[in-house]
Amino acid sequence: MPFRDRSSLRRHLLAVIALLVVAALQAPAVWCQPAATQEGLPVELVIDREQDFDDQLTTMRALYHVGEEYLPETGIIASVKSMFTGGDEAMYVTVATLAEHAARVRGDLVKVEGIYEPGGERGTLRSMGAEVMVEMVGGSSPEGFSEVGGPDGMPVMITGRVETEDEKALLRAEAMVPSAQIAGVRAARLLEEGEEWEAAADAYEDVATNGALQSRPLAAFARIRAGQIALEHLRDQKRARAQYSAGWQPYSASQGGTPAYYTWVPKEDNGWERTPAAEALAPRLDRLNADLIGYKIVDVFVRIAGGSPAFGVLLMAVVVRLAIYPLTKKQLESQRRMQALQPQIKELQKKHATDKQKFQEEFWQLCQEHNCNPLGGCLPMLVQMPILIFLYHGIRDYIVQFHGTQFLWIPNLAQPDIWLLVAYTISMVAFQKMAAQSQPAADAQQQQQQQMMAYMMPLMFFFLFRSFPAAFILYWLGSNVIYFSEHLIYRRATGDEAVVEPEPGEKASEKKGGFLASMVEAAKRMQGGEGNREEQRPPSYEEQRKQEKGQKRGKHK
């Protein structure tokens, strides 16, 4: 139908354009490119938006799985193996380290990752804004790239010796394989560019949780980016908190005041910005933890302590110790009574040196008669364990506020401190020795075992708590010091005179039940059961013959 005038034609064109726009908005957004530029990202994270995203994703996933086969083993067993196996182990370094400190690492066998670009006899390895020359030697050739046609423009990991040429680093490559770290992060970046948020978060987490990749430079980016996607696009605060919490301890550390890990975060105006990992993690993690009950409790103590996180932790130790002081007092009384019974216990040990069962029976009977519980020293520790677990989680939730806080020689309460851990271990040795006073040994072997445990338990805790933040170790050290003070005050208050013991049966008759009574009853049943079985057993043939002979001799006499 012909248009009557130009205005009619214009109206129809506008209607067609409007329909096209609506159709485009309603169409499924598959691999739609975000408007944000990639300016500021390192070459490892830059995605080629001109190539097909599906093909790139397939390639990166294939390289990631191949690269995993070349990763070193992790775990305790692998660490033990490395201690006993010799050989020349390659040291992992970055391209920037090779470029800036070529003379220092010259002659070393190293492993380095980046994007490889060929160039005749020598290629170039680029990473994080730095580059180094690469030359294959000894007839070596790239491995693991058969499915993608070669390493050109691909993420690679090179193992080789470092040499210098014109004061620049030259890497003599002995092996070139796919880089699982870069390939995995690139696959996640492709999914993110396509707005496949769930799959992108999973891909980032896969890289971040890989034990062999957790200390690599891009692991911090993968962990933080997984948390940010979970928070902003998946609306999953629990998942985001888990990612940020897992990333805080390893990636917020610094070396000589310089951040050990960096990441890249989107800028508000456009592009990306390189940022220390701690600065990227801190505001998000603190905001997510602020609503947790543990965070609020620790924050109350810090506020009462005048805003000092260190004194807030020590104040918590004081309050908890005062709360469980009635139990601590019972423990100290039990220890004192046990010390008073030591002469009698030693007499029982000598009397029943070869009969441990009889010793245990009379030992528990003696404790019951004098209203003394030898296991009373364990009660405050058992009661305090749930409190310690809760406070540990509270300190972990409050960890951002501890970051950068100095106390005495400790530079950062949010990071482990070896000398504070040594002081805590010494206090635990003293604590174990004091607790052992209320648990007498049945024989010399058991006494030796108790002495060994007094050192083995603190030593085990020493290795267990090496990665714990200093704030938590400070709390436990303060708690032990307060316990020693309570012990000293109690001894001064009671004096050194002997403990007045109740008459045998006096308090035992008043309290027929309880733990001690049950232990004594069990020991009697065991002993009595054996006696009954002995009495009910019919005499053997030899015993009958002896009895008959004895009777005949008596008659003869």
How much is the pLDDT for 366?
Answer: 73
Map 340-405 to HEC letters. Answer: HCHHHHHHHHHHCCCCHHHHHHHHHHHHHHCCCCCCHHHHHHHHHHHHHHHHHHHHHHCHHHHCCC
CA-CA distance, 456 to 49, in Å (whole number)?
Answer: 59
Query: For residues 331 and 486, is the Cβ–Cβ distance under 8 A?
Result: no
CA-CA distance, 68 to 357, in Å (whole number)?
Answer: 58
How much is the pLDDT for 539?
Answer: 52
Dihedral sign for Cα atoms in the order 546, 552, 553, 555: positive
How much is the pLDDT for 35?
Answer: 40
How much is the pLDDT for 72?
Answer: 83
Write out the DSSP string of 163-222.
EEETTEEEEEEEEEEE-HHHHHHHHHHHHHHTT-HHHHHHHHHHHHT-TTTTTSHHHHHH
CA-CA distance, 395 to 458, in Å (whole number)?
Answer: 22
How much is the pLDDT for 32?
Answer: 36
Would you call 490 exposed, middle or buried from its count of C-beta atoms within 10 A (0-12, 13-18, 19+)? middle
Name 314's bridge partners: none
Query: For residues 157 and 113, is the Cβ–Cβ distance under 8 A?
Result: yes
pTM: 0.70
- The single-letter DSSP state of residue 465 is T
Query: For residues 188 and 204, is the Cβ–Cβ distance under 8 A?
Result: yes
pLDDT (tens place) for every residue of the chain, 557 residues total: 444 555 665 665 656 555 554 444 444 333 333 446 888 899 999 998 888 999 999 999 999 999 999 888 765 555 545 544 544 578 899 999 998 988 888 889 999 999 999 887 889 999 998 999 999 887 788 899 988 888 999 999 999 999 988 888 899 999 999 999 999 999 999 999 989 999 999 999 999 999 889 889 899 999 999 999 999 999 999 999 999 999 988 898 887 778 889 999 988 878 899 999 999 999 999 999 999 999 999 999 999 998 899 999 999 989 988 888 887 777 777 777 777 777 777 777 777 766 677 777 777 777 777 766 666 556 666 767 788 788 888 888 999 889 888 888 888 888 888 898 888 888 877 777 666 555 555 455 556 666 666 667 777 778 877 888 888 889 888 888 888 888 778 777 776 544 444 444 444 334 444 444 554 454 455 444 444 444 444 455 455 555 555 555 555 44
